[in-house]
Structure 1
């Protein structure tokens, strides 16, 4: 009998130096039939990028050296993250897994939309690039700070510190993403700088300013959202073929999706309001009770935040980092990350 799975797509910043070459390597390691399908899909994505006058995903992924100025350029990073995730989604063995819902973190919402077939391949490739260009040119900054203790349990003191900084900068510092055990804050450069200086150092590396990030998921992105809604009308959208859980925890169910509402959310609310990734994960597991959660690549950075979101609601008896780690060491890990080779092998439709 098939196992049910909720699929989660990673957000911005997950294609880094260690991931260089991972897209082509994963395609090469696939079974012959799947490899042909994945390569044809990547060729189509590359063709769209060529038409846009931009480096193809293949050129970027197969570069000899990772260059921050090239690979982390917003329109390039977004394309790499989307392509890696989408190709991973196509690699899931549907004889083993029934995908019952899809969600994502931040930019991962666009990948989730593509996986659910809410856009054509051409539209999703172009829209991902377009949104990266529209939002990256925005003002402001973004940083991350932990709000859990070493065992991934909510830390009241750290939560209070974050709340104090938001209150100290009304309208200028906001919650950008609720990311498991982390608060991602964004706002004006002045407010972010002041908050980063005021917050005590945590876990030796936080608060951490996210380089190249603007004030995503805040009202500072209002102009980008308006431009996006003009550029990508409702006609560019298609009814999703798999239920989607968005950054509010709202479910878009098939076949009753309100297409104008989906367009407004994706290019409006999702761009300018807090993205509650934790709630998205929690709603997805509560509503669909999957046998597994499958995390798409690139990378494997989503695992901690997903685990922390599950621990917060005591999902399947998870109470802390220790209990989650113990479960993951069993023969059937609950969370399967396609960015980890041993877990990828449990998900994909055969390797060569």
Structure 2
């Protein structure tokens, strides 16, 4: 008797998710499941990786295979923006192809920050050549930008909204209206970005939480703010609308806007991806909340590399009291099911429930 096909929302990770523990994970995952089938199409994952590597080689950049198979993790190499971007995109895209699409019907794809590019690629809007070139190029353009970025919690230890922390963040945003912006709404965290001076002053002023926050994100510029205007304009000039195609499945962007499949305004998708998305707040929380309300998926599947998305997704669900979910403890209890609601492909035991 055939297993009932489950619906799934796919979530793609953002910058900083390929770290030392992920070294070797991309090639290792392919070795475990070298081919997959999406609809009537069979994809050989090794061939896909070779295509990505060939483009990187043409660009004069280290290949994903060489980076992933390096004997040691080197921050200067692996977290160099154009290398980190390629690893994150390749790891996520190959994970998407690895999903058993005969067991899971993908009803929507979204992502956090740089994960938007992986989402667009996974939805079929770009071919492999375009997506590999674009993620590399966007990393180079935005890395050269001004400013800094830091993260601060807006929830308590049980992942419920904490009004005191929220007020403290809003106070700093009001203090530096032109120099400090909300960069990403990331579940239970606010990611703020702006000028070096505004970030330094805000970090000094915010109350310390758990001896970790506020935390400056090393190597990050003022992403998703007006400080990226020049990078955005260069990208819009360099990449034509013709590079974009309509998505094959719904895409939920960083405003919570849904791009319907098969019919899309290429000019609008081009402008959002290289314009608004680069220079304005990325509301990952709203993207998750919109997606679950609109599509009510049986599961949420988190692509790799890494397994850091789970907390932010759960916090976004708790904020809206999704299906009565109201705390970290309740989320942990639900995850004890034979097939958890949120499935992270960065965790081997959960990956096994997703792949063919």
TM-score calculated relative to the size of structure 1: 0.98
Aligned match of 1:167:
174
Aligned match of 1:22:
25
Aligned match of 1:70:
77
Which secondary structure state, in structure 2, belongs to the residue aligned with residue 157 of structure 1? helix
- Cα deviations across residues 128-158 of structure 1 (Å, max 9, x unaligned)? 0000000000000000000000000000000
Which aligned runs of 4 or more in structure 1 are off by greater than 2 angstroms? 31-36
Change (3 A) 1:97 1:32: closer
Aligned match of 2:115:
108
Aligned match of 1:216:
223
Aligned match of 1:4:
7
- Cα deviations across residues 153-198 of structure 1 (Å, max 9, x unaligned)? 0000000000001111111000000000000000000000000111
Is 1:262 the counterpart of 2:269 in the alignment?
Answer: yes
- Cα deviations across residues 280-310 of structure 1 (Å, max 9, x unaligned)? 0000000000000000000000000000000
Aligned match of 2:211:
204
2:307 alignment partner, one of 300, 306, 315 = 300
Which secondary structure state, in structure 2, belongs to the residue aligned with residue 294 of structure 1? strand
Aligned match of 2:320:
313
Q: Aligned pairs, how many? A: 349
Take 2:43 and 2:120, find their aligned partners in 1: how far apart are those partners? 23
Is 1:282 the counterpart of 2:289 in the alignment?
Answer: yes
Take 1:96 and 1:269, find their aligned partners in 2: how far apart are those partners? 35
Take 1:201 and 1:260, find their aligned partners in 2: how far apart are those partners? 44
Runs of at least 5 residues in structure 2 that lack an aligned partner in the other structure: none
2:135 alignment partner, one of 128, 140, 144 = 128
Take 1:117 and 1:140, find their aligned partners in 2: how far apart are those partners? 33
TM-score calculated relative to the size of structure 2: 0.97
Change (3 A) 1:33 1:242: closer
Change (3 A) 1:265 1:36: closer
Runs of at least 5 residues in structure 1 that lack an aligned partner in the other structure: none
1:273 alignment partner, one of 280, 294, 302 = 280
Q: Considering only aligned residues, what root-mean-square deviation do their CA atoms show, in Å?
A: 1.1
Cα deviation, residue 36, structure 1: 7.3
Take 1:120 and 1:3, find their aligned partners in 2: how far apart are those partners? 27
- Cα deviations across residues 98-156 of structure 1 (Å, max 9, x unaligned)? 00100000000000000001011100000000000000000000000000000000000
Which secondary structure state, in structure 1, belongs to the residue aligned with residue 352 of structure 2? helix
Change (3 A) 1:155 1:32: closer
Cα deviation, residue 255, structure 1: 2.2
Take 1:207 and 1:5, find their aligned partners in 2: how far apart are those partners? 34
- Cα deviations across residues 235-272 of structure 1 (Å, max 9, x unaligned)? 11111111100000000001221110000000000000
Take 1:59 and 1:327, find their aligned partners in 2: how far apart are those partners? 39
Which secondary structure state, in structure 1, belongs to the residue aligned with residue 11 of structure 2? strand
Is the contact made by 2:36 and 2:100 (CA closer than 8 Å) also made in structure 1?
A: no
